[in-house]
């Protein structure tokens, strides 16, 4: 696709005001009839809405519900979050991935306590200044909690808008993304105009756009015949729904291999905590070594690194998972270390019992592996 075509914005200009207002009215009445009953929709508290919006990034609603409910029970308000230990916050987040989001929630709560007297700010620019809060999250909080006409654009809304207006080109490109934000702004401002004073029209409109993308205007098999926007939807009218949104070329995948050791000594296992500013910062893991192309086997380099005889290692299995475009393979081994083993003194970590391991925050894939693979506990006599 040439550059001109790639950056071509819409096949038609933004709909005139009256069309937008009519579409917004249909969307609002559909949402008020059909909205799913989600726990964070029972509140206008910006704190609860903020937590839900951050959890919902990259994560499905059904996964988020139990996390949100547990979080709100343990940390029901900004003060409770601000006073929590980072480790407890990461444990509540365990399994949701993208752990910088949890660390930023904690930082932002502490900042709200010191800079805003513990009250969630209700001005968009102030919300945007908080750690971890970008244009989408600030817009979502201000519209949903405070009913302000602040636009939001996420994956669901990109799908709805690119189909409704038949917007060609990569929606993540700067020009097209800016165009989609403008269209989203026009819609939420139209909602502010059509809603009665006792209605929360901006809040409902943004949620309706997301709801439509999640339930009807889905990536595959959209249910256009049930859609409140079908009469104005250009892609539907032209029979081109499956062409939008256009896809950018996927990033090249990168394969990474690691050799991981579960080292046991006197009934305890060695774990190490990742640096706070690293990917998955603050989470715990077993000592591991990245293997290079020249490493055909995993045991020898691992044994050399840990300075334990390779004969002592027992293979426990392979853990495969992905982070963005990285495909990660971890070969996991169990080994027993002698008392005089020096490596641990030079590479600080924590020796934990099996029960203590369950209280630490691990990455989702490692937690699932640990919980499923009982063998290593048996192999090491840790039942
Ligand atoms: S008519 Fe179909 S493609 Fe258009 S917005 Fe509705 S569900 Fe999406």
Could you tell me the domains of the chain? Answer: 3-243 (1.10.340.30), 254-379 (3.90.79.10)
230 lines ligand 1 (CB under 6 A): yes
For residue 22, give both structure tokens: 């009519």
For ligand 1, atom 8: residue with the closest CA: 217
The helix or strand, by DSSP H or E, that contains position 203, with its residue range, turns out to be helix 201-215
Atom of ligand 1 nearest to the CA of 223: 7
Q: Which two tokens stand for residue 47?
A: 């704190």
pLDDT at 5: 41
Nearest to 159 by CA among 90, 77, 227, 242: 242
Distance 230 CA to ligand 1 centre (A): 6
pLDDT reported for residue 383:
45
* Site to substitute for ligand 1 among 157, 161, 233, 240, most atoms within 8 A of C-beta: 233
Q: Does ligand 1 have an atom closer than 6 angstroms to the CB of 236? A: yes
Tell me whether residue 185 is one of the annotated catalytic residues. Answer: no
Residues of the chain with pLDDT under 50: 1-16, 383
- Whether the model clears a pTM of 0.95, i.e. scores above it, the answer is no
- CB of 227 within 6 A of ligand 1: the answer is yes
Cα separation, 82 vs 117, in Å, equals 12
Atom 4 in ligand 1: which residue has the minimum CA distance? 233
Would you state the pLDDT for residue 10? 41
Catalytic residue among 4, 34, 53, 331: 53
Residue 10 CA to residue 347 CA, distance in Å, equals 56
d(CA 158, CA 244): 9
- Whether the CB of 233 sits within 6 Å of ligand 1: yes
How far apart are the CA of 160 and the centre of ligand 1, in A?
A: 7
Q: Are 226 and 216 spatial neighbours (Cβ–Cβ below 8 Å)?
A: yes
| CB-based burial, 170-185: b 16+ in 10 Å, e otherwise | bbeeeebeebbbebbb
What is the predicted pLDDT for the residue at 376?
A: 58
Supply the pLDDT for residue 4: 37
Q: In Å, how far from its chain's centre is CA 127?
A: 19
Closest CA to 264 of 316, 301, 331: 316
Question: In terms of Cα–Cα distance, which of 265, 366, 260, 350 is closest to 305?
Answer: 260
- Predicted pLDDT of residue 107: 97
pLDDT of amino acid 348: 87
Is the alpha carbon torsion for 149, 100, 332, 367 positive or negative? negative
């Amino acid at each position: 696709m040439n550059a001109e075509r790639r950056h071509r914005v819409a096949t038609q200009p933004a709909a005139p005001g009256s069309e937008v207002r009519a579409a917004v009215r249909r969307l609002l009445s559909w949402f008020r009839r059909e909205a799913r009953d989600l726990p964070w929709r029972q509140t206008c508290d910006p704190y609860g809405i903020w937590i839900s919006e951050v959890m919902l990034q990259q994560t499905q609603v059904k996964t988020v519900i139990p996390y949100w409910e547990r979080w709100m029970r343990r940390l029901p308000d900004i003060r409770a979050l601000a006073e929590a230990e980072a480790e407890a916050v990461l444990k509540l987040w365990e399994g949701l991935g993208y752990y910088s989001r949890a660390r930023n929630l904690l930082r932002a709560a502490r900042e709200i306590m010191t800079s805003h007297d513990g009250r969630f700010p209700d001005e968009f620019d102030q919300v945007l200044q908080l750690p971890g809060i970008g244009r989408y999250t600030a817009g979502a909080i201000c519209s949903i909690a405070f009913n302000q006409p602040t636009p939001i654009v996420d994956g669901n809304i990109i799908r709805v808008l690119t189909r409704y207006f038949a917007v060609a080109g990569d929606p993540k490109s700067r020009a097209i993304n800016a165009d989609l934000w403008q269209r989203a702004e026009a819609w939420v401002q139209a909602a502010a105009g059509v809603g009665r004073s006792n209605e929360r029209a901006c809040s409902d409109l943004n949620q309706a756009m997301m709801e439509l993308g999640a339930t009807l205007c889905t990536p595959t098999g959209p249910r256009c015949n049930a859609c409140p926007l079908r009469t104005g939807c250009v892609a539907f009218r032209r029979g081109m729904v499956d062409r939008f949104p256009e896809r950018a070329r996927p990033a090249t995948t990168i394969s990474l291999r690691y050799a991981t050791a579960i080292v046991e000594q006197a009934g305890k296992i060695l774990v190490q905590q990742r640096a706070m500013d690293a990917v998955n910062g603050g989470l715990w893991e077993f000592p591991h070594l990245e293997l290079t192309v020249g490493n055909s086997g995993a045991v020898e380099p691992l044994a050399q690194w840990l300075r334990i005889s390779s004969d002592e290692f027992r293979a426990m299995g392979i853990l495969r998972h992905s982070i963005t475009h990285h495909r990660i393979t971890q070969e996991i081994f169990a080994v027993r270390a002698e008392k005089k083993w020096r490596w641990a003194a030079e590479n600080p970590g924590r020796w934990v019992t099996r029960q203590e391991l369950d209280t630490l925050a691990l990455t989702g894939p490692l937690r699932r592996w640990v919980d499923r693979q009982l063998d290593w506990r048996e192999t090491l006599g840790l039942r």
